[in-house]
């Protein structure tokens, strides 16, 4: 495999990580990360000393958290995102996070073995915000293959929204 799929997802917390309002989210971090680590097609994820990425800053806003990972394919990432173990947290995100003004998710192809930095990831989000999804940065509803060709949207994908 010459390429792997990098993905970044950023979110702005409504309340600090140690607040009672985020307790359910925080309690789910280790189990969901363990599911990702064991998922077919999972390659790597950014993590700090605590085993997750919540302590890694991607800007001046201390409420902004990042998830950065690498997968073998778009299908592997989608399978995890919509899996039984992750889906409840995806559905509950509005209780823990505010909606961002710009995109919160970006995917892009990297050479196999490359581990993207947070600066690279934030640049991909900025690219989607500036010019929309394209071969260099895209979302799961408008994916591209490693050669830069658009792929068919998955069945049931919403096409009218620009952010998840």
Query: For the domain that residue 78 is a member of, what is the CATH number?
Result: 3.30.70.100
Assess if residue 149 is contained within a domain.
no
User: Secondary structure of 26-95 in the HEC alphabet?
Assistant: HHHHHHHHHHHHHCCCEEEECCCCCCCCCCCCCCCCCCEEEEEEEECCHHHHHHHHCCCCCHHHHHCHHH
Number of structural domains found in the chain:
1
Assess if residue 127 is contained within a domain.
yes
Distance between CA atoms of residues 51 and 74, nearest Å: 24
Assess if residue 19 is contained within a domain.
yes
Assess if residue 48 is contained within a domain.
yes
What pLDDT sits at residue 160?
36
Question: Which run of H or E residues covers position 126?
Answer: helix 118-131
Residue 100: which domain range?
A: 3-131
Tell me the C-alpha to C-alpha distance, in Å, between residue 102 and each of 17, 29, 115, 123.
22, 24, 24, 13
Cβ distance 138 to 130 under 8 Å? Answer: no
Average pLDDT in the chain: 93
Assess if residue 49 is contained within a domain.
yes
> Does the pTM exceed 0.85?
yes
Assess if residue 21 is contained within a domain.
yes
Write out pLDDT tens, residues 125-162. Answer: 999 999 999 999 999 999 999 999 999 877 765 543 43
Query: For the chain, what is the radius of gyration of the CA atoms?
Result: 15
Cβ distance 19 to 27 under 8 Å? Answer: no
Assess if residue 138 is contained within a domain.
no
Assess if residue 84 is contained within a domain.
yes
Write out pLDDT tens, residues 81-139. Answer: 999 999 999 999 999 999 999 999 999 999 999 999 999 999 999 999 999 999 999 99
């Amino acid at each position: 495999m010459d390429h792997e799929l990098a993905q970044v997802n950023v979110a702005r917390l409504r309340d600090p990580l140690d607040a009672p309002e985020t307790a359910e989210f925080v309690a789910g971090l280790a189990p969901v990360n363990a599911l990702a680590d064991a998922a077919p097609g999972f390659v790597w994820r950014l993590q700090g000393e605590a085993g997750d990425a919540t302590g890694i800053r991607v800007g001046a806003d201390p409420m902004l958290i990042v998830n950065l990972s690498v997968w073998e394919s778009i299908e592997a990432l989608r399978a995890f995102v919509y899996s039984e173990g992750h889906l409840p947290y995806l559905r509950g995100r509005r209780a823990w996070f505010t909606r961002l003004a710009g995109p919160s998710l970006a995917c892009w192809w990297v050479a196999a073995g490359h581990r993207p930095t947070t600066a690279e990831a934030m640049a991909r989000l900025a690219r989607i915000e500036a010019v929309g999804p394209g071969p260099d940065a895209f979302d799961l509803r408008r994916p591209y293959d490693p050669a830069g060709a658009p792929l068919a949207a998955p069945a049931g994908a919403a096409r009218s929204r620009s952010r998840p």
